Each structure stands twice: as C-alpha cells, then as structure tokens.
C-alpha cells in the first residue's frame, strides 16, 4: 500500500508535546452506580454483542447495560457524548483555566481524564502526591464552583470530578493513560520528560516477546487506581502499537522501533489481561468496569495493526478521526473531514486513487475509519472523534481557497525527526502551540475553536496577553469561512496571508451528529472540552463554552437507540468451536499487499469434510477483492458497496465464501493454513458461518449474543428444519397480499413483495434482482409460501 507521507493522528497531549505527527485519544465510560449482582444468565442477557467475557466470572453487565446490550446513560442520552478533560489547564500558568465546574455535565455522558501514564515500575500513575499535583493535590481557593469535597481523602481534579458526579450520577468517568507525549515515557514533577519506555517496554520486551510481568503489574495497578479514585474504567491511549516503522512520537523511536515485530501481540495480551482483571474486580464490587481505547483512524497506521484483534475486549472504541492532515507534511487538507471527495492531494500523490486494487477508496476521513471498525463491531460500540481545535498552514499555494494546496517547509520542529514537513501556521494563528525539544514554538495552526471563531469575526480577544501577545495586536487580512459539503469540512482562509485553518463549527458538527444517528453509531468523542465556545455579548467575543457539545446533545437526546448487533442478517443460533485467526503478518512497511495467513483449527469432535464452506463478513473499508492463494476459492458473494467512496461508503460489509478443497478434510484438533491477500486494512472479519452435512452453524469466537455452543458429535448431523415464519400481511395459504415484485422498481431495506408464490423481504436497497435468485446471503429474504 503506498505510504502517503505516513499520515498521522496527532494532537496536543501535554507539556512540551510537539507537532511531529499523530495523536488523539479516545473516551470511554463506566458504570458508576453499584448494582446488585444477579444470576449469571441474567447478566449474560445484558452483555454487549461481541464483548469477551472472562471465563468463570459472573460479570455484572446489567449495572451498565440493558437487556439488549445497550449502555444505560439516562433517558435524554440515547447516544454517547464523551469529552476529554485535560489535567494541565489549571490556570496556574496565567492562561484561562478549564476546571470540572466548567464541564457541561448535563450535556455529556462520559469524561476521560487526560492523562495518566505508565511509570518506571510499570504502574499506572499520575505522579507523586503533593500540593502541585493537578490530579490529586491542587486546589483553587476563591474560585466559585471549585471548592473541594471534604469527604474525599484527595484533592485536585479527581476531587472535583467526583464532587460533580454526585450531582450527575449517570455521567461516567474514565482514566485515560498515555497520549502522544506519554505513550513511551512520562513527565516528572519538574515537567521534564522521563524516557522510561511507557507502554512499549511495559507490554513488549526488547526482543519483541510479550512482557507478561510488566502487563500484570500494570493491570493490577489500574484496578487499584480506579477503585481508589472513583473512576468507572480505563481508557488506553497507546500511540501506537503498530508495525509501521517510526510511527508515533519521535522521542519514542529508540525504544519502539526495535520492538515493532512484537508490539501488536503485546497490545493484545495487555488488553486481554486488563479485561480479565477488570471483570474480576467488577464481579467483586458489583459493577461492570469498562475498558476502551483511543484508536487511530489513518489507514496507514491501521495497516500495521493487523486486524485490530483487541476489539473483542473493549466496551467500545473511540476513533481518533482527526489530525488527518496537518503540518507534519506539505499537503493542505481538513483536520477531520467526514467523507472523501476523491481529490485528497496527499492520497493522489501516493497513487491511491489510481491504484486499481484500491477501487478509488480514500482512507483519510471519518467515514472510512468508521467502516473499518464496523467490520468487526456493532455500530453502537463505536464512537467517532471530533476536534475542538484547529490545524493549519501558512504560505499556502494552489488549491481552492487553500484546500488541497501545498505548504512545504524544511524548517521542521526540533525533535520531530523530519527534514521535510509542512509550513505550519504560527503566532496569532497558533494559540495552543506546543514547544519543540529546543523550547521553540512548533508551527501547527493549533487553536481552540473559541479563538478561531474570533479570528473569523475579526475580533482580537482580551485573552491574547495571557498568551504573550501585545494588547494592541491587530489582525492582518480577513479570515473568511469556507465550507465543503462533500467533505463536511469548514475552514478559514486568509487570502492576504495565505493562511489555512481547518475548523469545526455548528454546521459540520450537526451534520456529523446526523451521520451518527442515521447509522446507529454509539456516539461521539471530543478532544478536548476546553476548546468549545459560546458568544459573550457583554465582552463582544467568543469564549470557552459548550455550543458544539450542546448541538450534539440536542441531536442525540431523542434519537433511536443505537445499533446493538454486529450482523445485518440472521445467523444460526448454534455455534461450533472452530477457531479462525489471521496471523503471520509481514511487518508493516513490507506488508503490501496485506498478506497474512488464515489458520483454521477444528476444536470439535467431528471431521470437517472436503467442501466444507466458511463464510464471513469484512468491512467495506477495503474493496471486495480479497482472495486466497491456497485453492479455497475465496470470493465475495455479496458487496454492500462498490466503486469509490466519494461522499461515503454506502454499506457495511462484503460477504465472502471459501471452501475446504474437495480433496482435503480437517480432523478434530487439526489446523490448516491458507495464504490470504487484500489491499486496504480491515478489522477482524466477523459473522462467520460454517456449513457441512447439510447444516449451517455460527462460530463460537464471534461471541455473538444468543448463540449456544454445540458439538455435532462424531457423525454427520441431520439437517434441522428451520421454522417458516408466516409472512406479515399475507392472507394465508394461496394468497400473497404483498405487491408483486417489479424488475423496474427500486425497493428500500425492509420492503416486502410477493414472487413465485412466496413473500420476500429486502435486506437493503435493490433494483432488478429477482427474488429467489440471490441466495441465502443475498438481498431478498424468503418469508415463506403465501
């Protein structure tokens, strides 16, 4: 897969963090209210579809989820609004503070505290206790709303978060660990970075093997930490356990690059261990503790994360669907577009639109990232990320009002490891800048949205002196708001200064919220709450507020419940213990095309005969051209999307069939490998079935709700007849009440017709496909004779 200058996903993540590349974060939640643990069967009814359950543990899922496996967040919160709350906006540096009292508690569902880190002893930590520790020791005397809760044994942000949670008990809090600056190290009390290795060395040894002792220590400390400080769970913001060389913070490369071959495995063991220890703690405490991750959205980074096998351990994933373009390279584009427009200059330069195997699929947008994860998870276990900050460039040439132009530079931030980069905006256009390793401003065009709105309005805010600008500062040129409805991306363009600032505002946020509602997505995550805005008529300027968060709340409060199931078709309720696993991936930079081995292991007591058919779904983030090179005849038998993805992918899955060769059987306990090939990243294929002896089964490893694991025994099982439902609206035998199928008519999903003496239901939009000819996995579902 061509590498478009290694698209990154970076964000501001703490003191001295600098621009070089990716970042972001994800948010999650936990059940804050204790619940009585009921019978295990009752708890299983609340387990989210596809979520791993620790064997032998009665996990109290019903403390967080309802009987459909959906999260309980309050009557006016049908979808999540997860906000990152950072520990460093304390006001102690003379700049505006953002404290727990400033959070719009009634508009959100979850708060992720950023950041804790992995200390030198592999424990979860926020540093040593003391009066200057923002998390546990700092106080704000005289600040209304920031009075400490005297009933708690600690102070700081943690005290205030728990104080307000008492008033808003349905809001859940999560401790987020890592971030761009503290994935491979941490900062000491003096603000100096300690290159301890962080996640990289805690989970993976120098030789690439799994560091089981380090993982156990960390997971035990995580359980102790959330119990001590009242958090509902743990959010892992590991940037990044990918095999792509040099990915992540350049300061971490000396530790990370030598471990690349083992990072994905270590990540998987870390997440499984956390899931198991949180489940055991939750069973003891009577409440389900949640686990989530911040996941990259760039196809480049995900290419080196195999099939993101950790998804089954997560309550949900928060996609860092921002920082898709920025000054780590010269290509001027939106920070967080919803869709591709087929014109992305970075992708075009890498040949993505012209490489036939890609099918014209642009992979630097939110919709692509959502469909990547949708391939392995229910829509409701996915949240898309939105930025409350800008990215931008100066000295832009070409493009349309700067969009898809160029801004090359060779003056890159110290410590970035870059010799060529983008010409990032600076000064008044870079209010929230970081410092590079030489202590100089990192050019990035990074601003809170309240400052960007003032630039748009031509207002010089009264806060600029707090950021080192003279009180008589004047703006040069006009910051004209531009908007691309195909991308769903606003930006500011200063034609006089050739400055491009990618923004987010009510129009884009409302459109993204509609996207979430329409597709049954779980909700949104924002980095970071302190960037939101309100207009203050008294001062004549925009200031920190909650306009964007409120817009999402209003969209979500009366929405339909989110999508709680992974499959879009009915699957068998009986499942077999046949393991299917993708592995032996070449290292990322050598992994094009993506060519793992698929290993099938028969754990039943029955020999699988030649001709046994396997079917599975994979996400439309990749074209429907997956194949094998081992004679299994892999081919797509159904595709929910074809063609390019301009304006969005139209469906979720490609359905694939492959068969054990006729001359080959698979005995109990035996395994077989086949060589697999595909061309854009996909997450773990799902919705598996296996058919032999005239009967079709699901697979245990899908962890689907409502399935029972069986063993067909030593002989070939007789087919079990499937009851034929009475078609809705039929008038009984011999009568078809539904309208006759018309080859020229278009039918939407859920439409019913009659044809050939049967009633049929369309699973998705269709035209010209004759009922009875599309097969079990085709568009028409047979409702039986009428």
Measured CA to CA in angstroms, residue 21 lies from 111, 325, 397, 565, 750 at distances of: 25, 10, 22, 35, 45
What's the confidence (pLDDT) of residue 8? Answer: 36
pLDDT tens-place string over residues 216-228: 999 999 999 999 9
What's the confidence (pLDDT) of residue 600? Answer: 98
Contact predicate 345/403, CB 8 Å: no
* pLDDT band at residue 746 under the 50/70/90 scheme: confident
Least confident of 23-32, 312-321, 606-615, 670-679: 23-32
pTM: 0.88
| pLDDT at position 34 over 90 | no
Contacts of residues 165-168 at CB distance under 8 Å and 24 or more positions apart, as own/partner, are: 165/32, 165/230, 167/105, 168/105, 168/106
Domains of the chain with bracketed CATH? 1-324+365-388 (3.20.20.80), 574-709 (2.60.40.290), 726-786 (2.10.10.20)
What's the confidence (pLDDT) of residue 15? Answer: 31
| pLDDT at position 11 over 70 | no
Query: Across-strand partners of 320?
Result: 296
Instruction: Convert 692-721 to b/e letters by CB count within 10 Å (16 or more is b).
Output: beeebbbbbbbbbbebeebebeeeebeeee
Calculate mean pLDDT across residues 1-8.
40
pLDDT tens-place string over residues 235-251: 999 999 999 999 999 99
* pLDDT band at residue 780 under the 50/70/90 scheme: confident
Calculate mean pLDDT across residues 755-768.
78
pLDDT tens-place string over residues 393-420: 999 999 999 999 999 999 999 999 999 9
Of 397, 436, 762, 331, nearest in space to 568 by CA: 762
Strands 193-194 and 186-187: antiparallel
Q: Is 730 left (phi over 0), alpha (psi -120 to 50) or beta?
A: beta
* pLDDT band at residue 756 under the 50/70/90 scheme: confident
* pLDDT band at residue 40 under the 50/70/90 scheme: low
Measured CA to CA in angstroms, residue 465 lies from 95, 426, 468, 472, 541 at distances of: 9, 16, 5, 9, 15
What's the confidence (pLDDT) of residue 713? Answer: 67
Report which of residues 589 and 18 the model is more confident about. 589
What's the confidence (pLDDT) of residue 775? Answer: 65
pLDDT tens-place string over residues 522-564: 999 999 999 999 999 999 999 999 999 999 999 999 999 999 9
What's the confidence (pLDDT) of residue 352? Answer: 96
Contact predicate 306/585, CB 8 Å: yes
Calculate mean pLDDT across residues 134-138.
98
| pLDDT at position 729 over 80 | no
Dist. CA 565–CA 698, nearest whole Å: 15
Q: Spell out the residues 6+ positions from residue 435 whose beta carbon is closer than 8 angstroms to its own.
A: 16, 18, 441, 442
pLDDT tens-place string over residues 617-641: 999 999 999 999 999 999 999 999 9
Least confident of 446-450, 705-709, 725-729: 725-729
Q: Is 197 left (phi over 0), alpha (psi -120 to 50) or beta?
A: left
pLDDT tens-place string over residues 344-397: 999 999 999 999 999 999 999 999 999 999 999 999 999 999 999 999 999 999
Strands 489-494 and 110-118: unpaired
| pLDDT at position 171 over 90 | yes
What's the confidence (pLDDT) of residue 177? Answer: 98
- Average of per-residue pLDDT values in the chain: 91
Least confident of 19-33, 73-87, 257-271, 458-472: 19-33
What's the confidence (pLDDT) of residue 765? Answer: 67
Dist. CA 201–CA 198, nearest whole Å: 6
């Amino acid at each position: 897969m061509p590498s478009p200058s290694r698209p990154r996903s970076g964000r501001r993540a703490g003191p001295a963090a600098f621009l070089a590349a990716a970042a972001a974060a994800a948010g999650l939640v936990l059940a804050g209210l204790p619940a009585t643990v009921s019978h295990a069967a009752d708890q299983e009814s609340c387990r989210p579809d596809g979520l791993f359950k620790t064997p032998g543990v009665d996990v109290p899922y019903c403390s967080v989820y309802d009987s459909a496996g959906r999260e309980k967040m309050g009557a006016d919160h049908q979808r999540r609004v997860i906000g990152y709350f950072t520990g460093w906006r304390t006001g102690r540096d003379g700049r505006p503070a953002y404290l727990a009292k400033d959070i719009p508690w009634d508009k959100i569902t979850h708060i992720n505290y950023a950041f804790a880190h992995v200390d030198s002893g592999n424990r979860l930590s926020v540093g040593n206790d003391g009066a200057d520790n923002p998390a546990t020791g700092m106080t704000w005397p005289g600040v209304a709303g920031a009075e400490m809760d005297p009933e708690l044994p600690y102070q700081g942000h943690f005290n205030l978060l728990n104080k307000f949670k008492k008033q808003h008990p349905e809001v859940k809090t999560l401790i987020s660990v890592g971030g761009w600056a503290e994935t491979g190290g941490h900062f000491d009390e003096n603000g100096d970075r300690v290159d301890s290795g962080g996640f990289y060395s805690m989970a993976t040894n120098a030789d690439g093997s799994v560091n089981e002792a380090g993982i156990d220590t960390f997971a035990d400390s995580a359980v102790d930490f959330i119990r001590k400080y009242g958090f509902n769970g743990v959010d892992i913001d590991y940037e990044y356990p990918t095999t792509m060389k040099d990915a992540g913070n350049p300061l971490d490369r000396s530790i990370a690059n030598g471990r690349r071959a083992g990072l994905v495995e270590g990540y998987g063991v870390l997440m499984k261990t956390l899931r198991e220890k949180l489940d055991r703690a939750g069973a003891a405490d009577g409440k389900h503790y949640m686990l989530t991750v911040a996941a990259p959205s760039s196809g480049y980074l995900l290419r080196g994360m195999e099939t993101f096998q950790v998804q089954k351990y997560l309550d949900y994933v928060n996609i860092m669907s921002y920082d898709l373009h920025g000054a780590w390279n010269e290509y001027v584009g939106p920070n967080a577009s919803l869709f591709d427009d087929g014109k992305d200059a970075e992708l075009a330069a890498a040949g993505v639109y012209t490489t036939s195997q890609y099918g014209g699929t642009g992979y630097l947008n939110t919709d692509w990232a959502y469909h990547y994860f949708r391939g392995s998870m229910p829509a409701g276990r996915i949240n898309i990320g939105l930025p409350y900050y800008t990215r931008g460039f100066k000295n832009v040439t070409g493009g349309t009002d700067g969009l898809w132009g160029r801004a090359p530079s060779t003056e890159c931030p110290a410590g970035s490891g870059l010799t060529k980069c983008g010409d990032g905006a600076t000064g008044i256009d870079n209010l929230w800048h970081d410092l590079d390793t030489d202590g100089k401003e990192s050019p990035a065009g990074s601003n809170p949205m309240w400052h960007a709105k003032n630039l748009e309005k031509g207002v010089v805010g009264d806060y600029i002196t707090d950021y080192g600008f003279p009180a008589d500062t004047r703006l040069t040129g006009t910051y004209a708001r531009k908007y691309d409805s195909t991308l769903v991306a606003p930006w500011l363009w200063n034609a006089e200064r050739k400055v491009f600032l990618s923004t987010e505002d009510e129009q884009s946020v409302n459109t993204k919220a509609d996207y979430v509602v329409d597709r049954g997505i779980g909700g949104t995550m924002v980095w970071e709450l302190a960037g939101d805005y309100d207009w203050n008529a008294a001062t004549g300027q925009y200031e920190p507020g909650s306009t964007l968060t409120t817009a999402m709340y209003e969209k979500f409060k009366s929405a339909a419940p989110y999508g709680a199931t992974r499959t879009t078709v009915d699957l068998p309720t009986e499942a077999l213990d046949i393991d299917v696993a993708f592995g032996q991936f070449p290292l990322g930079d050598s992994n094009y095309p993506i060519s793992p081995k698929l290993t099938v292991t028969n754990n039943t007591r029955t020999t699988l005969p030649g001709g046994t058919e396997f079917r599975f779904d994979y996400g439309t983030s990749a074209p429907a051209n997956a194949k094998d090179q081992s004679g299994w005849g892999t081919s797509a038998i159904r595709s929910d999307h074809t063609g390019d993805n301009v304006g969005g992918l139209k469906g979720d899955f490609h359905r694939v069939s492959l068969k054990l060769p006729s001359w080959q059987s698979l005995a109990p306990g035996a395994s077989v490998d086949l060589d697999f090939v595909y061309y854009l990243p996909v997450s773990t294929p799902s919705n598996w079935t296996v058919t032999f002896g005239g009967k079709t089964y699901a697979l245990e490893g899908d962890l689907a709700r409502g399935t029972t694991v069986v063993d067909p025994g030593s002989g070939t099982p007789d087919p079990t007849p499937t009851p034929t439902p009475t078609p809705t609206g039929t008038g009984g035998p011999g009568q078809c009440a539904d309208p006759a199928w018309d080859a020229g008519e278009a039918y939407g999903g859920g439409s019913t017709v009659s044809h050939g003496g049967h009633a049929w239901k369309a699973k998705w939009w269709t035209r010209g496909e004759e009922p009875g000819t599309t097969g079990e996995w085709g568009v028409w579902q047979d409702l039986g004779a009428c």
